[in-house]
A and B are shown apart, each in its own frame.
Chain A
């Protein structure tokens, strides 16, 4: 029992409720939301150090012993993701201060932001399948409001599609929960795991596993990503950064959790499906990243590629591959946030999102240009930076498991990522300066520089200091390879 692990959910929730009453006082909202995010980072750091020292932490809501009540469980994976979410959330918030516009700030941007963070935190920490559904909905409903906030024609159009897809996947989620409850009669993840193992996963349980795979793939953009490029190019950069860094990753976390904790008994079926979908995602996402010549599309397809890449690690499911997947997941959340920050600034500076109409920006915005260059190298996985260790581990896992085809696709996808981002860098920053630059040159404010600096420093530090992160990551992967430890920690009484 440890009350600390509910704080990452509780802090944003109370902040959001408080800020609904303050929606006319923009300065107050900024201060309160920033302070609450910093508190959240502190709580997350404490959780990580506690899980490191004492193993998996659990909290039984209302003192009901599992499997009867709802519980929160923080293993190392959840703790690390909570910490990353808190840091990325802080960066997105700082970035939003000067870019989101007063109109949106007046109309409950900050409360919605906090509700979204609360939903994400809840999804990472919960130990109950239906509670996971509820946290997903908290996150999704705030994301509906955030994506349409501002109400431009494009936002309205894309939100209609985004909501429809998510209603559909949520309905399927409830259907999958109903089937699973009908077969094994529980919703607690740890007890589900033991009962699925006792029943001998096969037949109907495999069907349910694939149904869960479809549900979470729709949320994560794994193969079923057709909704993602359009939806993510509608809202402003601060919101897209939040979505690209957090929302798809929650889907991925749910995939990792379900297929390492509950449905791990028949990898010949389920993990083969994941592998196939991961390969297709990397190929299709790569084609999209190569095909388009406007910045939002290229960035959005890069999100898709990385989802496929992490799913490849999950499908191999050796210790190496899972360590790599976790490490890459952490890197990707940070790097994708930085990518959308920079993309938003480039579009604002050029006054257009078409690459053909840009050029020669390095003279006016040298720092922006070199940051983008470093980011492109990090996303492609060039050694001193953060993308490298995760990729290396995953590729080693893939080769050990003799998944040569998938490993080759994964390697090739890194080249595509590098090419597509370098295309942006070379066309936007090199060459002749185009006269149709925005008349007002963009001057990033201090908070924006702080957000950029935070994420860029993390991208570099996660690469250079990967040795110290590795200890934590390998503890997380240990828990994934041996689900018994999670079950014992949750059901010990």
Chain B
């Protein structure tokens, strides 16, 4: 199971990196989202995908899954959610003011 997850995460990373290297700003933001998805799955996978009850003591099971990575992922999700929404608004504002979403045209001053 870990192998399949690793392959999926690898594909997510590859697609994310490919999108980040493109010219259009929206594709770049989508790329960062895919990367964060990949990394959250990686956190889940790296704590071993053993079968066990959900981490609720009421389940009274013999074995539970590791609760720590779930908390880490939850933290990371809300952080990346905040950053992504800020990034979207920034891209919108930049499009309004600079009139382009092409990163090639956002190089800067002529002497740089």
Shortest C-beta distance, B89 to chain A (Å), equals 10
Contacting residues, chain B, for A178 (C-beta < 8 A): 39, 42-43, 45-46, 69
Contacting residues, chain B, for A175 (C-beta < 8 A): 39, 42
Q: Does A167 contact B (CB under 8 A)?
A: yes
Inter-subunit contact A230/B112 (CB<8 Å): yes
Inter-subunit contact B76/A174 (CB<8 Å): yes
Option from B35, B68, B69, B93 in Cβ contact (under 8 Å) with A151:
B93
Chain B stretch 36-60: residues in CB contact (< 8 A) with chain A: 36, 39-40, 42-43, 45-48
Chain A stretch 109-167: residues in CB contact (< 8 A) with chain B: 130, 133-134, 137, 141, 144-145, 148, 151, 153-154, 156-161, 163-164, 167
Inter-subunit contact A157/B98 (CB<8 Å): yes
Q: How far is the CA of A141 from the CA of B98 in the complex (A)?
A: 23
Count residues of chain B with CB under 8 A from any CB of chain A. Answer: 35
Shortest C-beta distance, B93 to chain A (Å), equals 6
Q: How far is the CA of A187 from the CA of B112 in the complex (A)?
A: 42
Inter-subunit contact B75/A134 (CB<8 Å): yes
Q: Does A168 contact B (CB under 8 A)?
A: yes
Inter-subunit contact B86/A151 (CB<8 Å): no
Contacting residues, chain B, for A141 (C-beta < 8 A): 79, 82-83, 86
Contacting residues, chain A, for B42 (C-beta < 8 A): 174-175, 178-179
Q: How far is the CA of A184 from the CA of B45 in the complex (A)?
A: 14
Given A153-B98, A156-B94, A174–B39 Cβ distance below 8 Å?
yes
Chain B stretch 1-57: residues in CB contact (< 8 A) with chain A: 20, 25, 28, 32, 35-36, 39-40, 42-43, 45-48
Contacting residues, chain A, for B63 (C-beta < 8 A): none
Q: How far is the CA of A167 from the CA of B35 in the complex (A)?
A: 9
Inter-subunit contact A153/B97 (CB<8 Å): yes
Q: Does B72 contact A (CB under 8 A)?
A: yes
Option from A168, A177, A230 in Cβ contact (under 8 Å) with B35:
A168
Which of chain B's residues has its CB closest to A159's CB?
A: B90
Contacting residues, chain B, for A170 (C-beta < 8 A): 79-80, 83
Which of chain A's residues has its CB closest to B48's CB?
A: A182
Q: How far is the CA of A168 from the CA of B87 in the complex (A)?
A: 13
Q: How far is the CA of A28 from the CA of B79 in the complex (A)?
A: 31
Contacting residues, chain A, for B65 (C-beta < 8 A): none
Option from A130, A134, A145, A157 in Cβ contact (under 8 Å) with B106:
A157
Which of chain A's residues has its CB closest to B93's CB?
A: A156
Contacting residues, chain A, for B72 (C-beta < 8 A): 130, 174, 177, 181
Given A137-B79, A144-B86, A160–B106 Cβ distance below 8 Å?
yes
Inter-subunit contact A181/B69 (CB<8 Å): yes
Which of chain B's residues has its CB closest to A130's CB?
A: B72
Count residues of chain A with CB under 8 A from any CB of chain B. Answer: 32
A 260-276 to B, binary, CB cutoff 8 A, 1 in contact else 0:
00000000000000000
Q: How far is the CA of A168 from the CA of B68 in the complex (A)?
A: 23
Q: Does A2 contact B (CB under 8 A)?
A: no
Contacting residues, chain B, for A160 (C-beta < 8 A): 25, 90-91, 94, 103, 106
Q: Does A171 contact B (CB under 8 A)?
A: yes
Inter-subunit contact B79/A164 (CB<8 Å): no
Inter-subunit contact B79/A134 (CB<8 Å): yes
Option from A137, A157, A163, A164 in Cβ contact (under 8 Å) with B108:
A157
Inter-subunit contact B97/A156 (CB<8 Å): yes
Contacting residues, chain B, for A133 (C-beta < 8 A): 76
Q: How far is the CA of A151 from the CA of B97 in the complex (A)?
A: 9
Contacting residues, chain A, for B80 (C-beta < 8 A): 167, 170
Contacting residues, chain B, for A137 (C-beta < 8 A): 79, 83
Chain B stretch 78-112: residues in CB contact (< 8 A) with chain A: 79-80, 82-83, 86-87, 90-91, 93-94, 97-98, 103, 106, 108, 112
Shortest C-beta distance, A487 to chain B (Å), equals 21
Which of chain B's residues has its CB closest to A164's CB?
A: B28
Contacting residues, chain A, for B93 (C-beta < 8 A): 151, 156
Q: Which of A148, A154, A182 has the most CB of B within 10 A?
A: A182
Q: How far is the CA of A163 from the CA of B89 in the complex (A)?
A: 12
Question: Which residues on B are within 8 Å of A, measured CB to CB?
Answer: 20, 25, 28, 32, 35-36, 39-40, 42-43, 45-48, 68-69, 72, 75-76, 79-80, 82-83, 86-87, 90-91, 93-94, 97-98, 103, 106, 108, 112
Question: Which residues on A are within 8 Å of B, measured CB to CB?
Answer: 130, 133-134, 137, 141, 144-145, 148, 151, 153-154, 156-161, 163-164, 167-168, 170-171, 174-175, 177-179, 181-182, 187, 230
For the A-B complex with A168-B20, A171-B39 known, give 7 more contacts whose Cβ atoms are closer than 8 Å.
A137-B83, A141-B86, A154-B108, A157-B106, A160-B90, A168-B32, A175-B42
Please list the 7 inter-chain residue pairs (A to B) with the smallest Cβ-Cβ separation, ordered nearest first: A182-B46, A156-B94, A178-B46, A178-B43, A174-B39, A178-B42, A167-B32
- Sample 18 A-B pairs with CB under 8 A, ordered by A number: A130-B72, A137-B79, A141-B82, A144-B86, A151-B97, A156-B97, A159-B90, A160-B90, A160-B94, A160-B106, A168-B32, A174-B43, A174-B76, A178-B46, A181-B47, A181-B69, A182-B46, A230-B108
